Amino acid sequence: MSDVLSAIKAGIGFLTTVPVGIDMDGVRKLSKHAYLFPFIGAFIGLTVGGVGLILQRLPTHLCSALIIVALYCITGLNHLDGLADFGDGLLAYGISEEKIRVMHDPSVGVGGMFFVIMSLLILFSVITTIGKNILFAILVAEISAKQSMLTATFGKSMHKGLGSMFIENVHRHDFLIGLIFSMSVCWYVLDVSGVVALFSALLSALVIVHIANRNFGGVNGDVLGAINEVGRMVALISIGVMTWTLL
């Protein structure tokens, strides 16, 4: 199997719950072809968005709730867990070492609970505003979330681990290749709204990288998970606001 196909397989296994099988060699190849992240995001977006189209006949709020359930059934909870750990570490008192210790604590604190609850509430609320554009909105949001993860190239690795493998191997050309694909799809499916959503997500990712560098001394897997969750949320907020203003 070529390195690219192996990286795609690893990416699907790493970013979704699809049981394709994954090993460290595949993860290593994925880290060297990180530009594939938004491509895998497109696969996730089409899958979840397709479920959303089927569910649109249901009452609006029930539809929104079930789309979120479908989203996390397909993507898993690893990135949401990363958001919780990021929230715990960010709101902890003390120097960077203490914040990192809190971030690595397996129990979830108030900060993590707040970040996760607010994320889910905002997702639920904004999905109810999107209406008929649900397929394209989720497609753009997932591409934006995965492209946002490539902003790791603008951060520095906090410590050695699975996350550091990506952070150290992601280069500017990976970000640019992914950005060209992401912009093309977002523009094609939602025109200006799609591109605005993408860059809104990227801006949120850069803010998180800056916050992580200041509070933790770098970026790790939990920060990447937070970037993914916040990027998706910000992209959907952007689409939801533009959809609402055009009504």
The verdict on residue 225 lying in a domain is yes
Q: Is residue 201 part of a domain?
A: yes
Write out pLDDT tens, residues 60-83: 999 999 999 999 999 998 899 989
Instruction: Report the pLDDT averaged over residues 87-94.
Output: 84
Residue 88 lies in a domain: yes
- pLDDT tens track for 7-27: 888 888 888 888 877 767 777
pTM: 0.91
**CB within 8 A of 127, min separation 6: which ones?**
52, 63, 64, 67, 68, 134, 236, 240
Predicted local confidence at residue 83, as pLDDT? 92
For the chain, what is the domain count? 1
- 160 pLDDT more than 70: no
Whose structure tokens read 């089409």? 46
**Domain annotation covers residue 38:** no
Q: CA–CA separation, 71 vs 14, rounded Å?
A: 15
Domain housing 93: 44-245
Q: Are 204 and 234 in contact (CB under 8 A)?
A: yes
* DSSP code for 219: B
Q: For residue 36, is it within any domain?
A: no
Pairwise CA distance, residues 158 & 219, whole Å: 5
Are the CB atoms for 230 and 204 separated by under 8 Å? yes
35 within domain boundaries: no
**Residue 39 domain-assigned (yes or no):** no
Question: Rounded distance, CA 243 to CA 136, Å?
Answer: 12
15 within a domain of the structure (yes/no): no
Bridge partners (DSSP) listed for residue 219: 157
